[in-house]
Chains A and B, each alone.
Chain A
Amino acid sequence: MNTESRLEKILASGALAVTSECGPPRGARPEKVKEKAALLKDHVDGINVTDNQTAMVRMSSFAAGIIIKQMGLDPIMQMVSRDRNRLAMQSDIIGAYAFGINTMLCLSGDHAKFGDHPMAQGVFDIDSVQMINMVRRMRDEETFQGGAKIDGAPKMFIGAAANPFADPFELRVMRLAKKIKAGVDFIQTQCIFNLDKFEEWMKGVTDRGLDEKVHILAGITPMKSVGMARYMKNKVPGMDIPDAVIKRLEGVSKEQQPEEGIKMAVESIERIKEIKGVHGFHIMAIEWEEKVPQIVEQAGLYPRPKV
């Protein structure tokens, strides 16, 4: 065990882990963070706090993470390389750790073009793979990226994302291998709707034995409506939504679509549970956090183990 992270302990126990996420508010409203986190608290082992997702300014993941930590819960602080150089990243990491945040996720981040400040200069001083390596060295070698010793090293459990559905597909297992080489501990995947393709990717992962070096949490997103499914298919980069998903949602009335979306999410979890190498689930219910407990329960992942 490298850290005090609850997620690490759950994964080490061999139980399937469950994480979810909470997007911080677009304003100084701590109660909004608390409301969202409270909805998730008994049903997950960690709560991702997104970092200016889709390049829209929000309360920082660092600050929202502290609010969640002070509720006695377990934030997973997301950090994107778009908005910070290596100095800012490292100072935020030691600052977050000083507040008890011990789990984080290293990401490149959506391009600023997608957000409400498309004129901003993206930083991209280091990339997500280099960020993983930096955080690992901060933890294991107790050194800053620049080489100096840290007095009080942050012991972060280190996560990253993987998108099995982006092009080129044949590179996606190698990309995971690269993140493992850099020192990643766990992976949360892009939302899975194309299960066949996910299975194919996981086969590539297990064939190389990579599942023994990293914990893979499968990304699950319930569809609220057929409109959401179409939007994700057409507008969200790197998303793979098979026509069958859209057809199935079209097949029920508008009022029944949310329930159908949840049913599909639960079915996905049941099928993915059977895939070798999957060690848990990351449930991203976008602005629909209140449904996470229901999904976790119906998927047989409740109660959460005590560690």
Chain B
Amino acid sequence: MITAEQKPIQEIIQYIAPYGRILLVGCNECVTVCAAGGRKEVGLLASALHLNSLKQGKTIDIKEITLERQCDPEYVEELAPYIDGADAVLSMACGCGVQTVAGRYKKSPVFPAVNTRFMGASLGQGVWAERCKGCGDCVLGITGGICPVARCSKHLLNGPCGGTSNGQCEISPDVDCAWRLIWERLKALGMENRYEDLMNAKDWRPGGAGGPGKIIREDLAQ
């Protein structure tokens, strides 16, 4: 999923300070799962903003809506009845959602209430870790199911570097060395010899170096 974290409240307050009527929009997808911008967080943020207004001796009108999917025009359309009644939109979706809303409602200022972080997986209650860089040319099939692009701090395709200490990455004892993990997996699978296959320099175009990514499925596109 795409992970996100709520922005510092002061930054959010600064964005919306000039406005009295706010449309606060959550998303029911990834940001709900990572507890950053779902229905519950929309409610909590609305309360915090109300409280802040009261402290300032002001009032603020906040309309709360959580869309099924904020990166999908079909659902973003549901904001249409409310948009004219708001001075600004505060989005709790990832950057994809914020931009879909901004692209649809061109006259409304749209502000992000979260920082989009990475594509990750849940490691347990309240813990998410980066697992994919979206490089567009998946190597997991030759690295034992562990991604060196996302999980090696230097994206080494022929690692490990010389900085590994006690099986951990040189940047922190809390970060596993991806190549230690790859090696352990290859051993467990009886594929040790695969390690010595040279991995060629990567073509970064599908992952963004070739310009903003776009997929057009001819069979589906209208």
Contacts and interface: CB of A to CB of B under 8 A. Distances in A.
Q: Do A and B come from one complex?
A: yes
Interface of A: 81-82, 86, 108-111, 113-114, 122, 124-130, 133-134, 145, 161-163, 166-168, 171, 174-175, 177-178, 181-182, 190, 237-238
B177 interface: yes
A108 B164 contact: no
B165 A124 contact: no
Contacts of B156: 108, 124, 127-128
B159 interface: yes
A82 B161 CA distance: 12
Describe B's contact surface by its main secondary structure.
Answer: loop
Contacts of B180: 167-168
B154 interface: yes
A182 B156 CA distance: 15
Contacts of B202: 125-126
B163 A127 contact: no
Interface of B: 153-167, 170-171, 177, 179-180, 183-184, 195-196, 198-202, 204
Given A128-B158, A166-B160, A168-B184, 9 more contacts: A111-B153, A111-B154, A114-B170, A126-B202, A129-B157, A133-B198, A174-B196, A175-B160, A181-B198
A127 B171 contact: no
Nearest to B168: A167
A219 B134 CA distance: 39
B146 to A, nearest CB: 14
B157 A174 contact: no
Contacts, number: 101
A110 B160 CA distance: 13
Contact of A126 (B161, B162, B164, B201): B201
A290 to B, nearest CB: 27
A177 B171 CA distance: 26
A93 to B, nearest CB: 15
A125 B207 CA distance: 12
A243 B179 CA distance: 28
Contacts of A110: 163, 170
B154 A237 contact: no
B113 to A, nearest CB: 24
B165 A167 contact: yes
A67 to B, nearest CB: 28
Given A111-B170, A168-B167, A129 B196 contact: no
30 contacts: A108-B154, A108-B162, A109-B154, A110-B170, A111-B153, A111-B163, A113-B153, A113-B171, A124-B154, A124-B156, A125-B202, A127-B154, A127-B157, A127-B159, A128-B161, A130-B157, A130-B200, A145-B201, A162-B162, A163-B162, A166-B162, A166-B165, A167-B167, A167-B177, A168-B184, A171-B160, A182-B158, A237-B162, A238-B162, A238-B165
